């Protein structure tokens, strides 16, 4: 038996841990671009901010998209609710609230991540330290995930935690793709050209998939393959299909445990079916942007429905 408020806390704790990790990865990809390209760095940073969903808030505060501004806003700024620091604060806040549902290891790794990052992000980051700070964020969040997987009982507690993780991750992957969709669209210019190679790599890098891509597809980046990888591939841990495979699995566990099937099951199944496209070409033909926009809306709707079905509030 689980309190609705506790389910809510577990869900958001894990959404925010996932968000912190993704934010670090996004900044990492931006940094990489800024380092390898001499021009257009500000455009790249702008694109990073849009992918983070923080465009409006950022421009209210800054006029220039520089590495310093963007890193500060996305990593440290507590007025930005999705910054790494805010996310870790919120994650820990929720973890404290649901502490009785966590193993000692899971709680301590969350608490220690918070302590370490609070210390590390207390002052503006020196550009020279940025890579090590980003590594630390990824390491701390990996430790939390490791404790969760290694020690938590696979019951409703774990199900709600995982639902949070995969809903956040799916949202994130879809947004990154959506921001860059134009890069993937077929056009005359990329026939036989490597012009956009670095852009394509940046997309893969934002989801830590630039190496594994080569294990699955041919060495050369192809927009259709990249989209296939991030949308359809069921084994790529950050793809939309992968996320929905697990969202469905955990909803089914809950259904089995409680003996009740809710509206959210049907929604999740519908979204999963939407991802089962015959070929990625169909998605391109119908419009990648429209497809992703629709996905993001449906994903958000599922989150709301889960909150309602399981009495989060």
Partner 1 sequence: MAAFDEMLPETTGLRRPYSAYDRWLKEQDPGRLTQKMEDAERVFRKTGITFAVYGEQEASERLIPFDIVPRIISGQEWRRLALGIEQRVQALNAFLDDIYHRQEILRAGRVPKQLIAANEAFLPEMIGVRPPAGVYTHIIGVDIVRISENEFYVLEDNARTPSGVSYMLENRETMMQLFPELFQQIKVRPVENYPALLRQSLAAVKPKGVEGTPTIAVLTPGIYNSAYYEHAFLADQMGVQLVEGQDLRVVDGHVAMRTTEGYKQIDVLYRRVDDAFLDPLTFRPDSALGVPGIMDVYRAGNITIANAPGTGISDDKAIYSYMPEIVEFYTGRKPILGNIPTWRCSEPDSLKYVQEHLSELVIKEVHGSGGYGMLVGPTATKKECEEFAKKLAAKPANYIAQPTLALSTCPIMTEKGLAPRHVDLRPYVLVSDRIQLVPGGLTRVALKEGSLVVNSSQGGGTKDTWVLDD
Which residues bind to partner 1, rule: CB under 8 A?
Answer: 1-5, 7, 93, 96-97, 99-100, 104, 107-108, 111-112, 115, 156, 160, 254, 258, 260, 310-311
CB of 313 to partner 1, least distance (A): 9
For the bound state, the minimum distance from the C-beta of residue 90 to partner 1, rounded and expressed in Å, comes to 12
CA distance 208 to 93: 28
Q: Determine whether 269 is exposed, middle or buried from the number of CB atoms within 10 Å of its CB (0-12, 13-18, 19+).
A: middle
Measured from the CB atom, the residue of 126 and 308 that comes closer to partner 1 is 308
Q: Work out the burial of residue 66: count CB atoms within 10 Å of its CB; fewer than 13 is exposed, 13-18 middle, 19 or more buried.
A: middle
Give the list of residues 6+ apart from residue 107 with CB closer than 8 angstroms, or none.
Answer: 95, 99
CB nearer to partner 1: give 97 or 296.
97
Shortest Å distance, C-beta 129 to partner 1: 24
User: In this complex, which beta carbon is closest to partner 1, that of residue 3 or of residue 266?
Assistant: 3
Between 108 and 269, CB nearer to partner 1: 108
Q: What is the CB neighbour count within 10 angstroms for residue 24?
A: 24
Question: Minimum Å distance from CB 72 to partner 1?
Answer: 22
Least Cβ distance, residue 100 to partner 1 (angstroms)? 4
Map 218-232 to HEC letters. CCCCCHHHHHHHHHH
127 Cβ neighbours under 8 A, 6+ residues apart: 67, 68, 71
| Of 283, 303, 307, the residue nearest 293 (C-alpha) | 283
Q: Which of 149/258 has CB closer to partner 1?
A: 258
């Amino acid at each position: 038996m689980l309190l609705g408020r506790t389910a809510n806390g577990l869900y958001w704790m894990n959404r925010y841990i996932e968000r912190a990790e993704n934010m670090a990865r996004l900044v990492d990809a931006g940094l990489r671009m800024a380092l390898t390209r001499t021009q257009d760095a500000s455009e790249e940073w702008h694109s990073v901010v849009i992918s983070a969903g923080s465009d409006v808030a950022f421009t209210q505060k800054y006029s220039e998209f520089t590495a310093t501004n963007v890193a500060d806003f996305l990593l440290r700024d507590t007025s930005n609710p999705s910054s790494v620091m805010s996310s870790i604060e919120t994650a820990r806040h929720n973890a404290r609230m649901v502490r009785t549902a966590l193993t000692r290891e899971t709680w301590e790794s969350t608490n220690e991540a918070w302590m370490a990052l609070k210390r590390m992000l207390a002052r503006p980051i020196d550009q020279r330290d940025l890579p090590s700070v980003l590594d630390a964020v990824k390491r701390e969040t990996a430790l939390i995930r490791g404790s969760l997987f290694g020690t938590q009982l696979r019951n409703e507690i774990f199900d709600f935690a995982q639902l949070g993780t995969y809903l956040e991750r799916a949202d994130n992957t879809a947004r990154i793709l959506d921001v860059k969709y134009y890069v993937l669209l077929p056009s005359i210019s990329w026939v036989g050209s490597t012009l956009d190679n670095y852009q394509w790599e940046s997309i893969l890098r934002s989801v830590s998939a630039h190496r594994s891509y080569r294990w699955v597809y041919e060495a050369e980046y192809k927009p259709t393959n990249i989209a296939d990888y991030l949308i359809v591939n069921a084994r790529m841990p950050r793809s939309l299909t992968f996320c929905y495979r697990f969202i469905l699995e955990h909803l089914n566990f809950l259904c089995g445990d409680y003996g009740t099937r809710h509206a959210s099951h049907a929604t999740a199944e519908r979204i999963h079916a939407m991802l089962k496209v015959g070929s990625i070409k169909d998605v391109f033909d119908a419009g990648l942007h429209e497809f992703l926009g629709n996905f993001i809306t449906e994903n958000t709707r599922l989150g709301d429905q889960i909150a309602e079905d399981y009495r989060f509030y």
